[in-house]
A and B are shown apart, each in its own frame.
Chain A
Amino acid sequence: MTTLAPPAVREKKTTVNGGRSGPVAWMAVPALLMFLAFGVVPLLGVVALSFTTWDGLGDIHPSGLTSWRAVLGDPGLVHALWVTFLIMALSWLFQTPLSLLIGTFLAGRQRYREVLAVIYFLPLLLSSAALAITYKALLDPNFGLGPGLGSSLLTQDWLGRGNLALGVVVFVVSWQFIPFHSLIYQGGVRQIPVSLYEAAQLDGAGTVRQFFRITLPQLKYTIITSSTLMVVGSLTFFDLIYVLTAGGPSDATRALALDMYQRGFKASLMGPASAIAVILVLVGLGLALLLRRLGGDADESQLEGA
Protein backbone atom coordinates (compact mmCIF):
# COMPACT_ATOMS: atom_id res chain seq x y z
CA MET A 1 0.00 0.00 0.00
CA THR A 2 2.18 2.80 -1.17
CA THR A 3 -0.81 4.98 -1.78
CA LEU A 4 -1.43 5.40 1.90
CA ALA A 5 0.39 8.68 2.22
CA PRO A 6 -0.66 10.51 -0.89
CA PRO A 7 1.19 13.67 -1.74
CA ALA A 8 -1.29 16.44 -1.28
CA VAL A 9 -0.83 17.82 -4.74
CA ARG A 10 -4.25 19.26 -5.05
CA GLU A 11 -4.14 22.19 -2.67
CA LYS A 12 -7.69 23.24 -3.35
CA LYS A 13 -9.10 25.91 -1.12
CA THR A 14 -9.36 24.05 2.12
CA THR A 15 -12.52 22.08 2.61
CA VAL A 16 -15.04 24.17 4.41
CA ASN A 17 -15.43 21.31 6.80
CA GLY A 18 -17.23 22.86 9.72
CA GLY A 19 -17.28 19.44 11.34
CA ARG A 20 -17.30 15.86 10.22
CA SER A 21 -20.24 16.61 7.95
CA GLY A 22 -18.45 17.95 4.91
CA PRO A 23 -20.11 18.49 1.58
CA VAL A 24 -20.37 14.80 0.82
CA ALA A 25 -24.12 14.47 0.58
CA TRP A 26 -24.14 15.15 -3.15
CA MET A 27 -22.20 11.94 -3.72
CA ALA A 28 -25.22 9.93 -2.65
CA VAL A 29 -27.50 11.73 -5.09
CA PRO A 30 -26.86 9.74 -8.31
CA ALA A 31 -27.51 6.42 -6.59
CA LEU A 32 -30.51 7.88 -4.82
CA LEU A 33 -32.06 9.17 -8.04
CA MET A 34 -31.52 5.89 -9.88
CA PHE A 35 -33.01 3.91 -7.05
CA LEU A 36 -35.95 6.26 -6.68
CA ALA A 37 -36.70 6.10 -10.40
CA PHE A 38 -36.48 2.34 -10.88
CA GLY A 39 -37.02 1.01 -7.37
CA VAL A 40 -39.18 3.23 -5.21
CA VAL A 41 -41.42 4.74 -7.88
CA PRO A 42 -42.22 1.29 -9.32
CA LEU A 43 -42.96 0.02 -5.82
CA LEU A 44 -45.52 2.78 -5.32
CA GLY A 45 -46.59 2.30 -8.91
CA VAL A 46 -47.41 -1.35 -8.47
CA VAL A 47 -49.74 -0.49 -5.60
CA ALA A 48 -51.38 2.19 -7.73
CA LEU A 49 -51.67 -0.13 -10.72
CA SER A 50 -53.41 -2.76 -8.63
CA PHE A 51 -56.37 -0.38 -8.47
CA THR A 52 -56.59 0.01 -12.21
CA THR A 53 -57.43 -1.89 -15.34
CA TRP A 54 -54.74 -2.03 -17.98
CA ASP A 55 -53.99 -4.43 -20.78
CA GLY A 56 -50.32 -3.52 -21.01
CA LEU A 57 -50.67 -1.55 -24.23
CA GLY A 58 -53.59 0.86 -24.17
CA ASP A 59 -54.73 3.40 -21.61
CA ILE A 60 -54.79 2.80 -17.90
CA HIS A 61 -58.19 3.13 -16.28
CA PRO A 62 -58.72 3.48 -12.56
CA SER A 63 -61.13 0.78 -11.52
CA GLY A 64 -61.15 0.73 -7.76
CA LEU A 65 -61.15 -2.70 -6.22
CA THR A 66 -62.02 -4.62 -9.38
CA SER A 67 -58.59 -6.18 -9.76
CA TRP A 68 -58.34 -7.08 -6.09
CA ARG A 69 -61.77 -8.68 -6.17
CA ALA A 70 -60.81 -10.67 -9.23
CA VAL A 71 -57.58 -11.88 -7.66
CA LEU A 72 -58.85 -12.62 -4.17
CA GLY A 73 -61.89 -14.43 -5.52
CA ASP A 74 -59.80 -16.63 -7.76
CA PRO A 75 -58.85 -20.11 -6.53
CA GLY A 76 -55.78 -19.72 -8.71
CA LEU A 77 -54.29 -17.40 -6.10
CA VAL A 78 -54.69 -19.94 -3.32
CA HIS A 79 -53.10 -22.56 -5.52
CA ALA A 80 -50.18 -20.29 -6.42
CA LEU A 81 -49.65 -19.44 -2.76
CA TRP A 82 -49.72 -23.11 -1.88
CA VAL A 83 -47.20 -24.01 -4.57
CA THR A 84 -44.97 -21.15 -3.45
CA PHE A 85 -45.04 -22.22 0.18
CA LEU A 86 -44.46 -25.83 -0.76
CA ILE A 87 -41.37 -24.93 -2.78
CA MET A 88 -40.23 -22.64 0.03
CA ALA A 89 -40.66 -25.21 2.79
CA LEU A 90 -39.24 -28.15 0.88
CA SER A 91 -36.23 -26.27 -0.40
CA TRP A 92 -35.55 -24.94 3.09
CA LEU A 93 -35.75 -28.47 4.53
CA PHE A 94 -33.46 -29.77 1.84
CA GLN A 95 -30.94 -26.93 1.76
CA THR A 96 -30.46 -26.05 5.41
CA PRO A 97 -29.08 -29.32 6.79
CA LEU A 98 -26.91 -29.89 3.74
CA SER A 99 -25.55 -26.34 3.66
CA LEU A 100 -24.83 -26.57 7.37
CA LEU A 101 -22.90 -29.80 7.01
CA ILE A 102 -21.04 -28.70 3.92
CA GLY A 103 -20.29 -25.29 5.41
CA THR A 104 -18.91 -26.89 8.55
CA PHE A 105 -16.82 -29.22 6.46
CA LEU A 106 -15.48 -26.41 4.28
CA ALA A 107 -14.56 -24.36 7.32
CA GLY A 108 -11.58 -26.63 7.80
CA ARG A 109 -8.49 -25.06 6.31
CA GLN A 110 -7.02 -28.09 4.61
CA ARG A 111 -5.89 -27.48 1.08
CA TYR A 112 -8.17 -30.05 -0.54
CA ARG A 113 -11.15 -28.47 1.09
CA GLU A 114 -10.34 -25.20 -0.60
CA VAL A 115 -10.26 -26.98 -3.94
CA LEU A 116 -13.60 -28.55 -3.10
CA ALA A 117 -14.99 -25.12 -2.27
CA VAL A 118 -14.12 -23.94 -5.77
CA ILE A 119 -16.02 -26.87 -7.28
CA TYR A 120 -18.98 -26.42 -4.98
CA PHE A 121 -19.18 -22.84 -6.10
CA LEU A 122 -19.63 -23.67 -9.79
CA PRO A 123 -23.44 -24.02 -9.78
CA LEU A 124 -23.71 -20.42 -8.66
CA LEU A 125 -22.05 -19.30 -11.86
CA LEU A 126 -24.66 -20.85 -14.13
CA SER A 127 -27.67 -18.84 -15.14
CA SER A 128 -31.04 -20.22 -14.17
CA ALA A 129 -31.83 -20.52 -17.85
CA ALA A 130 -28.72 -22.60 -18.51
CA LEU A 131 -29.47 -24.71 -15.46
CA ALA A 132 -33.05 -25.33 -16.43
CA ILE A 133 -32.02 -26.32 -19.95
CA THR A 134 -29.34 -28.67 -18.64
CA TYR A 135 -31.72 -30.42 -16.30
CA LYS A 136 -34.43 -30.57 -18.90
CA ALA A 137 -32.07 -32.47 -21.17
CA LEU A 138 -30.67 -34.60 -18.36
CA LEU A 139 -34.11 -35.66 -17.15
CA ASP A 140 -35.61 -36.28 -20.55
CA PRO A 141 -37.46 -39.61 -20.32
CA ASN A 142 -36.38 -40.62 -23.82
CA PHE A 143 -32.92 -39.17 -24.37
CA GLY A 144 -31.76 -38.21 -20.88
CA LEU A 145 -29.47 -39.72 -18.31
CA GLY A 146 -31.91 -42.39 -17.10
CA PRO A 147 -32.53 -44.20 -20.40
CA GLY A 148 -28.90 -43.68 -21.40
CA LEU A 149 -27.73 -45.53 -18.31
CA GLY A 150 -30.56 -48.03 -18.58
CA SER A 151 -31.71 -47.10 -15.11
CA SER A 152 -35.44 -47.37 -14.67
CA LEU A 153 -35.30 -45.45 -11.42
CA LEU A 154 -33.91 -42.42 -13.22
CA THR A 155 -36.22 -42.88 -16.18
CA GLN A 156 -39.33 -41.09 -15.09
CA ASP A 157 -41.50 -38.52 -16.68
CA TRP A 158 -39.87 -36.05 -14.34
CA LEU A 159 -41.40 -32.90 -15.69
CA GLY A 160 -44.64 -34.45 -16.87
CA ARG A 161 -46.13 -35.32 -13.50
CA GLY A 162 -47.14 -32.69 -10.99
CA ASN A 163 -45.46 -33.95 -7.85
CA LEU A 164 -42.32 -35.02 -9.62
CA ALA A 165 -42.03 -31.68 -11.38
CA LEU A 166 -42.34 -29.85 -8.08
CA GLY A 167 -39.67 -32.10 -6.63
CA VAL A 168 -37.41 -31.38 -9.58
CA VAL A 169 -37.86 -27.64 -9.08
CA VAL A 170 -36.93 -27.98 -5.40
CA PHE A 171 -33.92 -30.10 -6.26
CA VAL A 172 -32.60 -27.79 -8.96
CA VAL A 173 -33.11 -24.75 -6.77
CA SER A 174 -31.14 -26.44 -4.02
CA TRP A 175 -28.46 -27.51 -6.45
CA GLN A 176 -28.06 -23.89 -7.40
CA PHE A 177 -28.15 -22.28 -3.96
CA ILE A 178 -26.59 -24.76 -1.54
CA PRO A 179 -23.12 -23.45 -2.45
CA PHE A 180 -24.14 -19.94 -1.51
CA HIS A 181 -25.54 -20.95 1.85
CA SER A 182 -22.59 -23.24 2.49
CA LEU A 183 -20.36 -20.21 2.08
CA ILE A 184 -22.41 -18.29 4.63
CA TYR A 185 -22.13 -21.17 7.08
CA GLN A 186 -18.45 -21.57 6.35
CA GLY A 187 -17.93 -17.96 7.37
CA GLY A 188 -20.08 -18.48 10.44
CA VAL A 189 -18.20 -21.55 11.59
CA ARG A 190 -14.86 -19.87 11.14
CA GLN A 191 -15.93 -17.16 13.56
CA ILE A 192 -16.56 -19.61 16.36
CA PRO A 193 -13.69 -19.31 18.85
CA VAL A 194 -11.43 -22.36 18.62
CA SER A 195 -11.12 -22.34 22.41
CA LEU A 196 -14.68 -23.66 22.66
CA TYR A 197 -13.70 -26.75 20.72
CA GLU A 198 -10.49 -27.19 22.64
CA ALA A 199 -12.41 -27.11 25.88
CA ALA A 200 -14.89 -29.63 24.53
CA GLN A 201 -12.07 -31.86 23.40
CA LEU A 202 -10.59 -31.81 26.87
CA ASP A 203 -13.97 -32.87 28.18
CA GLY A 204 -13.86 -35.78 25.78
CA ALA A 205 -16.69 -34.70 23.49
CA GLY A 206 -16.59 -36.33 20.06
CA THR A 207 -16.90 -34.42 16.81
CA VAL A 208 -20.59 -35.20 16.37
CA ARG A 209 -21.31 -34.02 19.85
CA GLN A 210 -19.25 -30.91 19.31
CA PHE A 211 -21.29 -30.19 16.23
CA PHE A 212 -24.58 -30.31 18.11
CA ARG A 213 -23.35 -28.70 21.32
CA ILE A 214 -21.11 -25.97 19.97
CA THR A 215 -21.35 -25.44 16.23
CA LEU A 216 -25.12 -25.49 15.93
CA PRO A 217 -25.94 -23.17 18.87
CA GLN A 218 -23.14 -20.80 17.90
CA LEU A 219 -24.54 -20.58 14.40
CA LYS A 220 -27.96 -19.41 15.51
CA TYR A 221 -27.79 -16.03 13.81
CA THR A 222 -26.13 -17.44 10.75
CA ILE A 223 -28.97 -19.92 10.44
CA ILE A 224 -31.49 -17.12 10.70
CA THR A 225 -29.70 -15.02 8.11
CA SER A 226 -29.41 -17.91 5.70
CA SER A 227 -33.02 -18.97 6.27
CA THR A 228 -34.27 -15.45 5.68
CA LEU A 229 -32.43 -15.25 2.40
CA MET A 230 -33.72 -18.69 1.42
CA VAL A 231 -37.31 -18.09 2.35
CA VAL A 232 -37.65 -14.59 0.98
CA GLY A 233 -35.62 -15.53 -2.09
CA SER A 234 -37.87 -18.47 -2.83
CA LEU A 235 -40.78 -16.09 -3.34
CA THR A 236 -39.10 -14.76 -6.41
CA PHE A 237 -38.13 -17.94 -8.25
CA PHE A 238 -39.10 -17.17 -11.75
CA ASP A 239 -36.47 -17.79 -14.41
CA LEU A 240 -35.86 -21.36 -13.40
CA ILE A 241 -39.50 -22.38 -13.28
CA TYR A 242 -40.27 -20.42 -16.42
CA VAL A 243 -37.73 -22.31 -18.49
CA LEU A 244 -37.94 -25.66 -16.71
CA THR A 245 -41.68 -26.23 -16.52
CA ALA A 246 -43.37 -22.95 -17.46
CA GLY A 247 -45.59 -23.58 -14.45
CA GLY A 248 -46.70 -26.98 -15.66
CA PRO A 249 -47.67 -29.70 -15.93
CA SER A 250 -51.07 -27.98 -15.95
CA ASP A 251 -50.33 -25.60 -13.08
CA ALA A 252 -48.46 -27.84 -10.66
CA THR A 253 -45.45 -25.52 -10.41
CA ARG A 254 -47.22 -22.23 -11.01
CA ALA A 255 -45.74 -20.27 -8.13
CA LEU A 256 -46.68 -16.70 -7.26
CA ALA A 257 -44.11 -14.89 -9.42
CA LEU A 258 -44.98 -17.04 -12.39
CA ASP A 259 -48.69 -16.54 -11.79
CA MET A 260 -48.10 -12.80 -11.86
CA TYR A 261 -46.21 -13.03 -15.13
CA GLN A 262 -48.82 -15.22 -16.81
CA ARG A 263 -51.67 -12.97 -15.79
CA GLY A 264 -49.92 -9.74 -16.60
CA PHE A 265 -47.89 -10.39 -19.67
CA LYS A 266 -49.67 -13.39 -21.17
CA ALA A 267 -53.31 -12.71 -20.31
CA SER A 268 -52.84 -8.89 -20.45
CA LEU A 269 -54.44 -8.41 -17.04
CA MET A 270 -51.97 -5.95 -15.55
CA GLY A 271 -54.34 -4.88 -12.76
CA PRO A 272 -54.71 -8.32 -11.16
CA ALA A 273 -51.04 -9.05 -11.87
CA SER A 274 -50.10 -5.91 -9.92
CA ALA A 275 -52.30 -7.03 -7.06
CA ILE A 276 -50.37 -10.30 -6.96
CA ALA A 277 -47.11 -8.37 -7.00
CA VAL A 278 -48.31 -6.42 -3.95
CA ILE A 279 -49.14 -9.69 -2.22
CA LEU A 280 -45.66 -10.92 -3.10
CA VAL A 281 -44.06 -7.91 -1.41
CA LEU A 282 -46.28 -8.17 1.66
CA VAL A 283 -45.65 -11.88 2.11
CA GLY A 284 -41.92 -11.29 1.73
CA LEU A 285 -41.85 -8.49 4.27
CA GLY A 286 -44.03 -10.47 6.67
CA LEU A 287 -41.76 -13.50 6.51
CA ALA A 288 -38.62 -11.42 6.91
CA LEU A 289 -40.04 -9.71 10.00
CA LEU A 290 -41.22 -13.01 11.43
CA LEU A 291 -37.80 -14.61 11.06
CA ARG A 292 -36.22 -11.54 12.55
CA ARG A 293 -38.51 -11.74 15.57
CA LEU A 294 -37.65 -15.41 15.87
CA GLY A 295 -33.99 -14.64 16.18
CA GLY A 296 -34.25 -11.80 18.66
CA ASP A 297 -31.79 -9.26 17.33
CA ALA A 298 -29.91 -10.70 14.43
CA ASP A 299 -27.71 -7.73 13.65
CA GLU A 300 -27.03 -6.57 10.13
CA SER A 301 -23.36 -7.39 10.27
CA GLN A 302 -24.24 -11.05 9.89
CA LEU A 303 -25.01 -10.25 6.28
CA GLU A 304 -21.56 -8.90 5.70
CA GLY A 305 -19.85 -10.43 2.77
CA ALA A 306 -22.87 -12.47 1.88
Chain B
Amino acid sequence: MSQFRLKKLDLGGFVNTRILRDHTKRRTFEQFEPERQALRYTIRNTSLPQRVRAQAQLQLANMHSNTRSTQIKNRCVEGGTARSVIRAFRLGRYQFRMQALAGELPGVRKASW
Protein backbone atom coordinates (compact mmCIF):
# COMPACT_ATOMS: atom_id res chain seq x y z
CA MET B 1 0.00 0.00 0.00
CA SER B 2 2.60 2.53 1.09
CA GLN B 3 4.56 2.15 -2.13
CA PHE B 4 1.64 3.67 -4.02
CA ARG B 5 1.06 6.59 -1.70
CA LEU B 6 1.96 10.06 -2.87
CA LYS B 7 4.76 11.80 -1.00
CA LYS B 8 2.81 15.03 -0.99
CA LEU B 9 -0.91 15.33 -0.37
CA ASP B 10 -2.79 16.32 -3.50
CA LEU B 11 -6.26 16.52 -2.01
CA GLY B 12 -8.15 19.62 -1.05
CA GLY B 13 -11.28 19.46 1.06
CA PHE B 14 -11.89 17.03 3.91
CA VAL B 15 -9.15 14.44 4.41
CA ASN B 16 -8.85 11.57 6.82
CA THR B 17 -6.89 8.36 6.76
CA ARG B 18 -9.59 6.35 5.08
CA ILE B 19 -10.14 8.93 2.38
CA LEU B 20 -6.40 9.04 1.81
CA ARG B 21 -6.30 5.26 1.54
CA ASP B 22 -9.19 5.18 -0.90
CA HIS B 23 -7.69 7.97 -2.96
CA THR B 24 -4.43 6.04 -3.20
CA LYS B 25 -6.37 3.00 -4.42
CA ARG B 26 -8.11 5.08 -7.05
CA ARG B 27 -4.84 6.50 -8.29
CA THR B 28 -3.25 3.08 -8.40
CA PHE B 29 -6.18 1.68 -10.31
CA GLU B 30 -5.91 4.51 -12.83
CA GLN B 31 -2.21 3.92 -13.24
CA PHE B 32 -2.43 0.17 -13.82
CA GLU B 33 -5.70 0.00 -15.72
CA PRO B 34 -4.17 -0.23 -19.24
CA GLU B 35 -1.93 -3.07 -18.09
CA ARG B 36 -4.85 -4.91 -16.54
CA GLN B 37 -6.97 -4.47 -19.61
CA ALA B 38 -4.15 -5.73 -21.83
CA LEU B 39 -3.82 -8.84 -19.68
CA ARG B 40 -7.57 -9.34 -19.66
CA TYR B 41 -7.58 -9.10 -23.44
CA THR B 42 -4.85 -11.72 -23.70
CA ILE B 43 -6.81 -14.04 -21.44
CA ARG B 44 -10.06 -13.68 -23.35
CA ASN B 45 -8.51 -14.01 -26.80
CA THR B 46 -8.97 -17.66 -27.73
CA SER B 47 -6.79 -17.37 -30.85
CA LEU B 48 -3.65 -16.88 -28.71
CA PRO B 49 -1.65 -19.90 -27.59
CA GLN B 50 -2.92 -21.51 -24.40
CA ARG B 51 0.39 -21.05 -22.64
CA VAL B 52 0.44 -17.31 -23.21
CA ARG B 53 -3.10 -17.02 -21.93
CA ALA B 54 -2.34 -19.02 -18.83
CA GLN B 55 0.69 -16.88 -18.12
CA ALA B 56 -1.37 -13.74 -18.54
CA GLN B 57 -3.83 -15.18 -16.08
CA LEU B 58 -1.07 -15.74 -13.57
CA GLN B 59 0.30 -12.25 -14.10
CA LEU B 60 -3.11 -10.72 -13.60
CA ALA B 61 -3.63 -12.72 -10.44
CA ASN B 62 -0.21 -11.68 -9.16
CA MET B 63 -0.84 -7.97 -9.53
CA HIS B 64 -1.23 -6.00 -6.34
CA SER B 65 -4.75 -6.04 -4.98
CA ASN B 66 -4.86 -2.24 -4.94
CA THR B 67 -4.75 -2.14 -8.72
CA ARG B 68 -8.22 -3.70 -8.72
CA SER B 69 -11.29 -1.54 -9.15
CA THR B 70 -13.20 -3.61 -6.61
CA GLN B 71 -11.06 -2.18 -3.83
CA ILE B 72 -12.44 1.28 -4.48
CA LYS B 73 -15.23 2.46 -2.22
CA ASN B 74 -17.16 5.66 -2.72
CA ARG B 75 -16.77 7.88 0.30
CA CYS B 76 -18.42 11.10 1.34
CA VAL B 77 -16.31 14.02 0.17
CA GLU B 78 -17.29 16.16 3.17
CA GLY B 79 -17.11 13.67 6.00
CA GLY B 80 -15.49 10.47 4.79
CA THR B 81 -18.49 8.26 5.54
CA ALA B 82 -18.55 5.10 3.49
CA ARG B 83 -22.20 4.16 3.91
CA SER B 84 -25.19 5.55 2.09
CA VAL B 85 -23.24 7.93 -0.10
CA ILE B 86 -25.36 9.62 -2.74
CA ARG B 87 -23.42 9.32 -5.94
CA ALA B 88 -24.87 12.37 -7.65
CA PHE B 89 -23.46 14.65 -4.97
CA ARG B 90 -20.69 12.44 -3.57
CA LEU B 91 -22.09 13.13 -0.13
CA GLY B 92 -23.15 10.93 2.74
CA ARG B 93 -26.81 11.03 3.64
CA TYR B 94 -26.42 13.37 6.59
CA GLN B 95 -24.12 15.82 4.79
CA PHE B 96 -26.52 15.71 1.88
CA ARG B 97 -29.46 16.55 4.12
CA MET B 98 -27.67 19.43 5.81
CA GLN B 99 -26.51 20.93 2.53
CA ALA B 100 -29.88 20.44 0.86
CA LEU B 101 -31.68 22.16 3.73
CA ALA B 102 -29.14 24.99 3.59
CA GLY B 103 -29.86 25.35 -0.12
CA GLU B 104 -26.30 24.62 -1.20
CA LEU B 105 -27.28 21.95 -3.70
CA PRO B 106 -28.79 23.58 -6.78
CA GLY B 107 -32.28 22.40 -7.62
CA VAL B 108 -32.69 20.15 -4.59
CA ARG B 109 -35.67 20.93 -2.39
CA LYS B 110 -37.92 19.16 0.03
CA ALA B 111 -40.34 16.90 -1.77
CA SER B 112 -43.85 15.89 -1.00
CA TRP B 113 -46.08 14.10 -3.41
A and B pair up: no
Give residues in B with beta carbon < 8 Å to A: none
